[in-house]
Structure 1
């Protein structure tokens, strides 16, 4: 049984009459609870679909990163600062000591994760630590969060970033952004947050957006005044684009079909709002399904 007020408060936005100027909110004529509830159910199904394919991408990326790093530095050298990029770039407003501090923080987080897994008696972590005195990276990555993996990648030296990105036909700057945005949506699924209209929010300095790529151009997505495509940058459609870039063709086809099925199913249950409004909230262009043909 769902909480009535959670459904109302979480999914009422599109059903509110914005022309009404009274003191209280007014719903559009004909709105009833079941229409909001159907949007809620749609959102839940979207999360089930997206998390399945995000995890597929996550596992693939973890495997590639752990294999490449271990091949170059050994299975137990992910805790050594000098195996990461500690140089300060021209555009970074920080000192060399601060940069080392950031990498040290990453290493500390990894060490804390190992400790947590040991306290939980994780059999793989415990076996390797008791037998060898360390946990190989290819074992450890299975317990590291996508957020930690994205930070791990961002601090690799340029050559290592390039070697890993090449496996996905992505430049390091593309890969870094994809990992950070993907983490936001993966966490939203894990914490059961409202999902369909989630936007990747700004961090301290700049918005979390994936880099504009060929898919944006091939879909002829319009641009805003800052020359950014208005869809597929920091919205749910950006995750669809990421899936297109990284998933195998048959896997992406199944993913796109499942999303389309849920959109079509919801469309048949709407009466006071349109599918177009839903797609706009999701950051989907009206012809989004053409992405399968690219």
Structure 2
């Protein structure tokens, strides 16, 4: 059954019917002004879960909200999530650039021939489907970006008759970079991961004692986590309760002396821990402090019950502030 168009006044009546408190007059006008800028579906349907009275909702077959819920409380969670996306996208892009730089350096150091990144013999033979797909992607990205005379691609191809990998990686997505890493020869995978672990030791003072070769599968899962959250942030989807799908290998956060609740490695908390491996200490500290400030502001804007539910969906405990600050 199709959904008919609903006017702003009708949306106000619908929300009041569902037990969302919206006073008539100025308050109702403010709500309509917000909904004229922000999509009702994005605000209400996107962030209603922690405010619903599940018992009445299930028995009535229609959404019904916990008594005392206001539109502005739901909107505060919406705004918090948007702010969180903007914050984390900044640092996810930084992690992406870190990975791209290390991939290009170690692959190019080992393979010095022109266009060596298009030679299947320079990659692992363990998954030829993935490797073949990768080379197809690299060829497509090269072709797409070489058309414009003001591009670095055009300059290198016409003047030097080559395209260094460190130029090509600037146009690859995080997902494509992950494909590249998974297709690399094991010895190069270890070099890239070893480089990242050296940086981590230098920045945070923690040294990983396990052999790098034993951590490749876990690192692949970490990359999948970053890609999943990067796409959520870039496309404006709901972030705070997002969970990544489990891969073939259990996501053991081997790089941290931390106690994490079972299953939290697939939540936003898992992302926060994973980013610790890719960022300089100063940037990581700024990220954590901004998160703490945002959560502290939200805790004052919504009821404690709903705030606790939000923490749970983020993979955080009631001691969220201590947990986050312990990372820095």
Q: One fold, TM greater than 0.5?
A: yes
Q: Deviations over 1:138-193 (max 9, x none)?
A: 01111100100101101111111111100122632232111111001111111111
Equivalent residue for 2:239, pick from 195, 200, 211? 195
- Kept in 1, the 8 Å contact 2:218–2:249? The answer is no
Decide whether aligned partners of structure 1 residues 122 and 78 sit closer, same or farther in structure 2, where only a CA change above 3 A counts: farther
Mapping 1:14-163, distance limit 5 Å: 14-20=50-56, 21-74=59-112, 76-87=115-126, 99-119=127-147, 123-163=151-191
Equivalent residue number for residue 25 of structure 2: none
Q: Does 1:235 align with 2:248?
A: no
Decide whether aligned partners of structure 1 residues 13 and 293 sit closer, same or farther in structure 2, where only a CA change above 3 A counts: closer
Q: CA deviation at 1:246?
A: 2.3
Mapping 1:274-293, distance limit 5 Å: 274-288=306-320, 289-293=322-326
Q: CA deviation at 1:292?
A: 4.0
Q: Deviations over 1:25-65 (max 9, x none)?
A: 21110112111111110000001110111111111111111
Q: Does 1:255 align with 2:287?
A: yes
- Kept in 1, the 8 Å contact 2:156–2:163? The answer is yes
Equivalent residue for 2:254, pick from 195, 210, 213? 213
Q: CA deviation at 1:82?
A: 0.8
Q: How many residues align?
A: 271
Larger radius of gyration: 2
Decide whether aligned partners of structure 1 residues 112 and 122 sit closer, same or farther in structure 2, where only a CA change above 3 A counts: farther
- Kept in 2, the 8 Å contact 1:267–1:275? The answer is yes
Decide whether aligned partners of structure 1 residues 291 and 32 sit closer, same or farther in structure 2, where only a CA change above 3 A counts: closer
- Kept in 1, the 8 Å contact 2:217–2:249? The answer is no
Equivalent residue number for residue 33 of structure 2: none
How far apart, in 2, do the equivalents of 1:243 and 1:101 lie?
Answer: 29
Higher helix share: 2
How far apart, in 2, do the equivalents of 1:161 and 1:293 lie?
Answer: 30
SS of equivalent to 2:241: coil
RMSD, aligned α-carbons: 2.0
How far apart, in 1, do the equivalents of 2:325 and 2:293 lie?
Answer: 14
Q: CA deviation at 1:248?
A: 1.7
Unaligned 5+ segments in structure 2 are 1-36, 198-211
Equivalent residue number for residue 91 of structure 1: none
How far apart, in 1, do the equivalents of 2:253 and 2:286 lie?
Answer: 24
Q: CA deviation at 1:3?
A: 1.3
Q: Deviations over 1:46-88 (max 9, x none)?
A: 011101111111111111110111011026211110111103x
Equivalent residue number for residue 209 of structure 2: none
Unaligned 5+ segments in structure 1 are 88-98, 223-228
How far apart, in 2, do the equivalents of 1:5 and 1:108 lie?
Answer: 38
